[in-house]
Structures are given as C-alpha cells and as structure tokens.
C-alpha cells in the first residue's frame, strides 16, 4: 500500500484507503456497509493486513454470531461489562449501542456501561455478568464455585465456555483498541436511543 493512499481515521490511526484494499477486504467492507450502514472503525483498523482482519473477524463472528446457548443480547452484555471494567471507549460505545438496539432499552446499555449492578437483570444475566467481571478483574481467582454459580443459574458447561471466550475476546480487543486510541464510529453514539 502506498504512503500517499494511507490516511487516518478520525482517530489518527493509519488505515488503508478503500481503493487500496484487496478484493476480499473490499468485499468485507461492502458487506459491512450493506448490513450495518457503516464500516466499523475496528474493521478499518484491522484492514492493514488481510490475515489480521480475517483472524479478527472469524473469531468475532464465531463468538458473537455463531451457535451458542447464549443469546446475541447476552453476548453483547458481556462485551459491555468487560469493556466497562477495562474502560474501553470504543467497545463501550459500539457494544452499548448493540445492547440498546437488541434490548429496546436504552437504560440497559447505560447501566451495564456504568455499573452492571444497577441494571435490571434476571438471575441468569446477573450471574453471567458477575462471572465476566471476575474473569476480567481477577482471572486467577476463578474457581469451581464460580462455574457452579453459573450452572445453578441455568448455564451448561458449553455456555460457560462461551461466556469465558466472549469475555476473553473483549479483554484482548479492549487492550488493542485502547493501545491504538481507536474511537467508535459516530453513528454508534445515536443508535438505540429511541
């Protein structure tokens, strides 16, 4: 990619010009624009290298959209709680928008972003986000009693695997977004607010 064609997102992060994308990456940008109405800045950021973009999107799509005992809203709730603890601006805004849109409750996205203990959650959701919080704050303290609390709330061992993987993914993703000062797309701020 030529230096003349590299530009910055509104965040100052170098990303390739759309004209310089490989055909596969360009196709993915077009798919995002068609389905979401925008190309998320995280996709633009990873587009400097096709292998990195494919690795990121494959794992994200598997964890967040693939078959699971967890619903899409539950997975987004985990993303917001983890991002809240890590103070990841990008993911709080982007996934807070998803929680608002999926739940139809703007206040749920806000409560999860600020302090999940204020959120109107059922016992299952409360156990799930408490586990995600502990896994983020003190992973070395996770023990069988924590997994058993999830089972008691109705989660299977496969669900526990999925909770751990979603939380783990967002811990990684939060650190990358913070490290490169990634800012969310402006459209996320308005999404799902009624």
DSSP, collapsed to helix, strand or coil, labels residue 6 as strand
Q: What pLDDT score was predicted for residue 19?
A: 85
* Cα maximum dimension of the chain: 57
Q: What pLDDT score was predicted for residue 12?
A: 56
DSSP, collapsed to helix, strand or coil, labels residue 178 as helix
Q: What pLDDT score was predicted for residue 181?
A: 87
Give whole-number Cα distances, 108 to 47, 115, 121, 124, in Å.
Answer: 32, 10, 9, 15
Q: What pLDDT score was predicted for residue 157?
A: 98
> How far is residue 77's CA from residue 97's CA, in Å, rounded to a whole number?
11
For domain 72-190, the CATH superfamily is AhpD-like (1.20.1290.10)
pLDDT tens series, the chain, 194 aa: 334 444 445 555 677 888 889 999 999 999 999 999 999 999 999 998 899 999 999 999 999 999 999 999 999 999 999 999 999 999 999 999 999 999 999 899 999 999 999 999 999 999 999 999 999 999 999 999 999 999 999 999 999 999 999 999 999 999 999 988 888 887 877 776 77
CATH topology agreement for domains 18-65 and 72-190: no
CATH, domain range 18-65: 1.20.5.810
Do the Cβ atoms of 127 and 149 come closer than 8 Å? yes
* Number of residues assigned to the chain: 194
Q: What pLDDT score was predicted for residue 100?
A: 92
Q: What pLDDT score was predicted for residue 10?
A: 52
Q: For 31, how many CA atoms within 13 A lie in the half-sphere containing its CB?
A: 8
Q: Where are the domains of the chain?
A: 18-65, 72-190
> How far is residue 100's CA from residue 143's CA, in Å, rounded to a whole number?
32
**pTM score, whole prediction:** 0.90
Query: Helix and strand tally (H, E) in the chain?
Result: 10, 2
Beta bridge partners of 7: 15
Q: What pLDDT score was predicted for residue 188?
A: 76
What the block records as the tokens of 18 is: 């759309």
Q: What pLDDT score was predicted for residue 28?
A: 93
> How far is residue 190's CA from residue 40's CA, in Å, rounded to a whole number?
14
């Amino acid at each position: 990619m030529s230096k003349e064609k590299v530009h910055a997102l509104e965040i100052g992060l170098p990303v390739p010009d759309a004209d310089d994308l490989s055909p596969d990456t360009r196709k993915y940008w077009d798919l995002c624009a068609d389905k979401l109405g925008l190309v998320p800045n995280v996709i633009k950021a990873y587009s400097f290298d096709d292998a990195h973009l494919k690795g990121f999107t494959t794992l994200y799509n598997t964890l967040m959209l693939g078959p699971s005992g967890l619903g899409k809203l539950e997975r987004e709730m985990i993303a917001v709680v983890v991002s809240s603890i890590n103070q990841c601006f990008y993911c709080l805004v982007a996934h807070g928008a998803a929680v608002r849109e999926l739940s139809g409750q703007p206040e749920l996205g806000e409560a999860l972003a600020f302090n999940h203990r204020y959120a109107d959650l059922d016992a299952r959701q409360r156990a799930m986000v408490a586990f995600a919080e502990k896994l983020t704050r003190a992973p070395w303290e996770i023990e069988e009693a924590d997994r058993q609390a999830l089972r008691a709330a109705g989660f299977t061992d496969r669900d526990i695997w999925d909770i751990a993987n979603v939380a783990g993914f967002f811990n990684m993703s939060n650190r990358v977004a913070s490290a490169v000062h990634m800012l969310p797309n402006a459209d996320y701020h308005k999404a799902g607010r009624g």
